[in-house]
Amino acid sequence: SEHVAVCISAQVPLASSEVERIMTQKSDSEHTQSFIDLYYGPVEWGYGWCFPNKESLNIGLGCRVDKARGLRDKWGSFLSKLANDKDIKIRVTEKTSARVPFGSVSSRLIGRRSMLIGDAAGFVSPVSGEGISFAIESGILAADIATEAIREKSPVHIVEYDRQMKMKHIQELKDLRFLAGIIYKSEDNLELLFDIIDKDPVMSDYFTDIFTRITPYSKLKFKIAKRLLTRHPLKAIKLGF
């Protein structure tokens, strides 16, 4: 399905000194900062990741379900590459797999005395797979609406949850699906986009905001299109903006 992702992930035990060695770097102010690694290329319509914890690494690989053929083999190759690149021994004691609906909100977010939130409702970015911020927002709103429904003794008040969530986020998810279609269309598009981001600090900031959802893409799309067309016109045309 184009609207379901599948991922494999594992917590890999590692000494805290090793985690610090491979996942931190000095900033301009000489303070040590942790960072995360994202890997594009091991899978179609997805990416791999390596996140630091205190005494472990969270390593994973995910993509759209319809692009997941051979995912287990790619997972093994991805672990081998990480171990080689970071000069560590990766010992996977336990791994998990999951399916995540994304980018296609359920036609109905409510039922009798129930409201769908977060992943269950499809509130996940098609670009990054990020869903925590959506889950928090939808959870808070659901709690508020439930409180109001009880106070007003009106179970039907939960339709307000459906209305508000769709009003706030349907367009954002549509815009993100459009962007994902450009980014993941081909390896050439990925390379073009990351070349732009690498050389243009403004574009780098824009895409950092999109991936972390600090600023919704819907509020940045015109700025991004304008900068691409004025600063990187040939690449913008090749990308399909």
Are 30 and 72 found together in one domain?
Answer: yes
We report the CATH number of the domain holding residue 14 as: 3.30.70
Q: What is the mean pLDDT of residues 112-131?
A: 90
Structural domain including 215 reads 185-239
Are 150 and 191 found together in one domain?
Answer: no
What is the reported pLDDT for 206? 96
Q: Is 19 exposed, middle or buried (0-12, 13-18, 19+ CB in 10 A)?
A: buried
Residues 6+ away with beta carbon under 8 Å from 214 = 208
What is the reported pLDDT for 67? 93
With 80 as the cut, is the pLDDT of residue 25 above it? no
Percentage of the chain beyond pLDDT 90 is 71
Residues 6+ away with beta carbon under 8 Å from 75 = 8, 61
> Out of 12-16, 70-74, 109-113, 221-225, which region has the weakest mean confidence (pLDDT)?
109-113
- For residue 111, give the 3-state DSSP assignment: strand
What is the reported pLDDT for 2? 78
Q: What is the mean pLDDT of residues 180-196?
A: 93
Write down which residue in 73, 101, 129 finishes a domain: 101
Segment holding 188, helix H or strand E = helix 187-199
Are 143 and 120 found together in one domain?
Answer: yes
What is the reported pLDDT for 136? 96
Q: How many CB atoms lie within 10 A of CB 20?
A: 14
Are 21 and 86 found together in one domain?
Answer: yes
Q: What is the mean pLDDT of residues 234-238?
A: 93
Q: What residue ranges in 82-157 does DSSP mark as E strands?
A: 95-101, 110-111, 114-115
What is the reported pLDDT for 47? 95
pLDDT: which is higher, 57 or 94: 57
User: What total of structural domains would you count in the chain?
Assistant: 3
> Out of 61-75, 103-117, 139-153, 166-180, which region has the weakest mean confidence (pLDDT)?
103-117
128 token code pair? 């990054």
User: Residue 16: pLDDT band by 50, 70, 90 thresholds?
Assistant: very high
With 80 as the cut, is the pLDDT of residue 30 above it? no
Percentage of the chain beyond pLDDT 70 is 96
- For residue 170, give the 3-state DSSP assignment: helix
Are 91 and 142 found together in one domain?
Answer: no
Closest residue by Cα to residue 241 from 206, 198, 205: 206
With 90 as the cut, is the pLDDT of residue 108 above it? no
Are 84 and 138 found together in one domain?
Answer: no
> Out of 105-119, 197-211, 213-227, which region has the weakest mean confidence (pLDDT)?
105-119
Cα radius of gyration (the chain): 20
Q: How far apart are the first and last CA of the chain?
A: 25
Q: What is the mean pLDDT of residues 105-119?
A: 86
d(CA 206, CA 184): 18
pLDDT: which is higher, 11 or 24: 11
Write down which residue in 161, 178, 195 finishes a domain: 178
Arithmetic mean of pLDDT over the chain: 91
What is the reported pLDDT for 101? 84
Write down which residue in 139, 155, 178 finishes a domain: 178
